[in-house]
A and B are shown apart, each in its own frame.
Chain A
Amino acid sequence: MAFDRSKYIESFKAEVRDLLQETSAGLLQLEKNPHDRSLAELLMRKTHTIKGSATMMGYKRIVDLAHVMEDAFEKVLKENLSLSKEQVDLLFKCLDAIEPLLDDKVTWSDKGIEASSVSNLCEEVKNLFSHAPSQAPQAVPQPAQGSQGIEKEVVDVSQKSSALQSAVEESIRVDIDKLNRLMNLTGEMIVGKIRLNELVQSLNDKVEGNKELDENLGGLTKDFNMIKNNMDRLSKSLQDEVMKIRLVPVSYLFNHFSRAMRDLARTKGKEIRFEIHGEDTQIDKAIIDHMKDPIMHLLRNAVDHGIEMPQARQEKGKPIEGKITLSAYREGSRVVIEVADDGHGVNIDKVKERAVAQGFVAQERLSDMVDDQIYQILFAPGFTTTDEVSETSGRGVGLDVVRDHIAEYKGMVEVKSKPGLGTSFLLRLPLTLAIAESLLVAAGTDIFAIPIETVMETLRVDPSAIKTIETKEAITVKGHILPLVRLSDIFNLPRKGIFEKRFLPVVVVQSVEKRIGILVDELIGRQDIISKAIGDPLKNVSNISGATILGNGRVILILDIASVIRSAEGVVIKKPSAPPKALVKGKKKTVLLAEDVLSTAMLEKSILEAAGFSVVIARDGKEALDRANQESFDLIITDVLMPRMDGFDFVASLRKIPFYKEIPVMIVTTRETDEDKRRGLEVGADAYILKKDFTSEGLLETIERLLG
């Protein structure tokens, strides 16, 4: 009788992936150490297990592949064979073929892949292992240097394989959602505990100095305090333990690379010894899962551009075999992953030269820059040294992608290099994404959290030091101009008596290269928060990256600094000193505002409403046109760049509607070419205002003129 396999597919896939990785690691070791019978035995067992599981789940092609591999390993074991390079390559090819078979949904009936390629592969294995003369054990090529290191590695691995096995037996797979729920509940329990603490405290206050009451309660107060203290300890340990569940050893990812490095070195014709250190270092699975590409990029860079060709190394008197190390270690609350090579290092003079030539840095600034700052240029988007005919060519290509990727997981990249001795890239990552250290600030009546890694410093600014530069506010900090933005303006929040303060708190934040000062009403302090995603429909709301729940059970929002900086670059308007209230007489006039950037829309809306208009916001040209058809507006204000239908098309379509032939239309945009202005007036707009020249007075003046 057929059983419902679908329930087990996910765990089957995960299990086979683990087995493939273990087999791959084992095969690498067997190649280096052909005499290790226990390794061949282990490999035979692993492939046998793959075969067994795949049989149960009906993945016939996988069964075939695993079967021939198992036979091959059995032969190695029984006949004491040493694997030739071709044989190893072929076995790796089989392993590679299994992985996609797992993901291919059609594989269920084995139709999706070219069946012939699998059977060919199986035939190849059979042939190579029955006919090919096996290499005599003594003929196994032993690398001239570094053999000691390899032997050491083998010891490590045989230990690891037994450790691996016990780890498998003693662990179970848990759905990440279950883990998140467990964490949520732990958080809620702590909220409850805080309430309990408050109650116990108020009980203590009542009892203190009231002996009679204390006696009447018969020691109850003491018991309560004991239970409270016990709960404090328990909940703290519980939270710590739950956090730890998310952590996995980096070996989980690192083991993937040994295989890739072997292939890379072979194709590049370089002799490379690849070492892994600190594979037991623990880190959040959600982070390490996404580090595969950046680490691979850095490793590839090290092979391509770091390590010299064997001959060049020999000339320099270095060991012919280059060394690339991938290591992980804890550093305070962070985990550092380091990719180091002993190649020729970054040529700092070349970087400087190129940086100036390509306009990344002004020549006169170079002398002020320390080496670390120079290395940071390597990460600038578009920076390249490829058109040079030098050994360093290619260094830096795509590093901006690596940095951005690391930044996404709240990490930083650092480069260290010594000419002639090598380069290392250090990825500093948080231990877990679940807990984020944040700065809590208040704006208006709301509290927000700012991720600490984006905070450069906090300042207290004298209001008179705030200058206005090109319609934007700014202050001068250590000789540099720092643009200022009020959180309450970005979010359109009520201001809370901010001008009465003698000093205003400013949080200096940075994202990528951009740095701004955020003016807040109050700095509350640093706090570890558990960041939580906000689900649909608010997942993509601008300026907010998530939320957290404070000890009192209240939700506060976490600022998305990159998006706040972008918003700050938009329209910044000084509030009208006295909104011209009586602008509109008689019936309230209605304005249709087509603007896709919500913060801009809200700002314009608030100005218009303050002037006595009633405002309807449409988020693109299409929506605006629909609204215009349904209602009769007295004035239309539109942006140009919008999704679905742009402002020009919207105005053009609008003018075709009889009612809107004479209704005033204004375009408010960042597009300042004459071509655009001409086009705007051509399609029928009455006024064209640039966002950069935008002031509330200017807007209202124009409206007054248009409405006559």
Chain B
Amino acid sequence: MTEDSKKIIFEVDDLENDDEISLTAYMRVLVFFVGQEQYCVDIKDAKEVIKVEHVTHVPGVPNFVLGVMNLRGEVITLCDLCSFLTLDASERPKELWALVTDVLGAPMALLVDEVKGAIDIEERLIQPPLATLGTKMSQYTRGQAQVGGEILIFLDLKKILTCEEMEHLKKG
């Protein structure tokens, strides 16, 4: 895995030195793990990545809300990306990381397993969602891309965070 990520970063450097770069459209994405899968989001949607230290449980909320936490004096909601992606959350790394996003306006955080870093991918390499994906998953993805032998699932954070369950929660 580490080899591959090095490779990806290497390719990016290569591309940046290439004069032909202007001819192809690139998109910068943030790559991370949730469970065994690699996902990515548009870097513009990811404000920062923070270490999760203390989460306060909020009673009476759906399972996908892990609670609230302190982001430099601001109280933000932490959601579990696993629940949205219907992944098994039983095995979690000891160190927890969260992706802070403001696609909904106010910042909120999404728990992820491990953050690999930012890379540039060619927009034409992003393929439409696989037909084999579940309906729920295909709604949440913008497609996938094969980069350096790895498959990245490109998540649409805005769609995930405006899903029906979420809208229901917002109404209280």
Contact = CB atoms under 8 A, between A and B. Distances in A.
B102 to A, nearest CB: 10
B130 interface: no
Contacts of A539: 170, 172
B70 A535 contact: no
A224 interface: no
A619 B165 CA distance: 9
Contact of A555 (B72, B75, B105, B161): B75
Interface string A186-201: 1110000000000000
B57 to A, nearest CB: 6
B73 A187 contact: yes
Given A534-B75, A535-B77, A540 B172 contact: yes
Q: Give the size category of A's interface with B.
A: 35 or more
A492 B60 contact: yes
Given A549-B70, A549-B75, A553-B70, A537 B60 contact: no
B28 to A, nearest CB: 26
Contacts of B74: 184, 532
Nearest to B54: A554
A692 to B, nearest CB: 22
A598 interface: yes
A541 interface: yes
B29 interface: no
A557 B58 contact: yes
B54 to A, nearest CB: 5
B82 interface: no
A538 B58 contact: yes
Contact of A541 (B54, B58, B79): B58
A186 B74 CA distance: 11
Nearest to B68: A555
A537 B58 contact: no
B77 A538 contact: yes
Contact of B56 (A491, A540, A555): A555
A619 B168 CA distance: 8
A184 B69 CA distance: 14
A357 interface: no
B170 A537 contact: yes
Interface string B59-83: 1110001001110111111010000
Given A537-B108, A554-B54, A555-B75, A542 B68 contact: no
B151 interface: no
B108 A536 contact: yes
Interface string B98-136: 000000111110000000000000000000000000000
B61 A536 contact: no
A58 to B, nearest CB: 30
A534 B68 contact: yes
B61 A538 contact: yes
Nearest to A567: B60
B56 A556 contact: yes
Nearest to B77: A538
A543 interface: yes
B51 interface: no
Contacts of B70: 549, 553-555
A536 B108 CA distance: 8
A540 B171 contact: yes
A532 B53 CA distance: 19
Interface string A527-565: 000001111111111111011110001111100000000
Nearest to A488: B59
B107 to A, nearest CB: 7
Contacts of B166: 537
Most buried by A among B58, B60, B105, B172: B60
How would you classify the secondary structure of chain B's contact residues: helix, strand, loop or mixed? mixed
B73 A555 contact: no
A140 interface: no
Given A492-B60, A553-B54, A555-B70, A534 B77 contact: yes
B73 A493 contact: no
Contacts of A556: 56
Contacts of A619: 168
Contacts of A555: 54, 56, 68-70, 75
B25 interface: no
B1 interface: no
B77 A602 contact: no
A446 interface: yes
A532 B73 CA distance: 9
A535 B59 contact: no
A548 B68 CA distance: 11
Contact of B68 (A188, A492, A538): A538
A112 to B, nearest CB: 28
A264 interface: no
Nearest to B55: A555
A183 interface: yes
A611 B68 CA distance: 31
Nearest to B170: A537
A554 B55 CA distance: 8
Nearest to B69: A555
A598 B172 CA distance: 9
A519 to B, nearest CB: 16
B23 interface: no
A188 B68 CA distance: 16
A599 interface: yes
B73 A541 contact: no
B23 to A, nearest CB: 34
A257 B166 CA distance: 44
Contacts of B68: 534, 538, 547, 555, 557
Contacts of A260: none
Contacts of A183: 73
Interface in B74-94: 74-77, 79
A328 B104 CA distance: 41
Nearest to B166: A537
A524 interface: no
A665 to B, nearest CB: 23
A507 to B, nearest CB: 17
Interface in A406-465: 446
A186 B166 CA distance: 32
A185 interface: yes
B75 A493 contact: no
Given A541-B58, A553-B54, A598-B60, A184 B172 contact: no
Contacts of A623: 164, 168
Contacts of B161: 537
A446 B171 contact: no
Nearest to A556: B56
A544 B61 CA distance: 11
B170 A540 contact: yes
A490 B77 CA distance: 21
A540 B168 CA distance: 10
Contacts of B65: 537-538
B105 A536 contact: yes
A549 B107 CA distance: 17
A188 B72 contact: yes
A490 B59 CA distance: 9
A486 to B, nearest CB: 13
Contacts of B54: 553-555
Nearest to B64: A537
A535 B107 contact: yes
B61 A184 contact: no
5 closest residue pairs by CB, A with B: A540-B172, A184-B73, A491-B59, A535-B106, A555-B56
Given A446-B57, A492-B59, 5 more contacts: A181-B73, A446-B59, A535-B77, A536-B77, A538-B77
19 contacts: A187-B73, A188-B72, A446-B56, A535-B77, A535-B108, A538-B61, A538-B169, A539-B172, A540-B170, A540-B172, A543-B59, A544-B58, A548-B75, A549-B73, A553-B53, A553-B70, A557-B56, A557-B58, A599-B60
Interface of B: 53-54, 56-61, 65, 68-70, 72-77, 79, 104-108, 161, 164, 166, 168-172
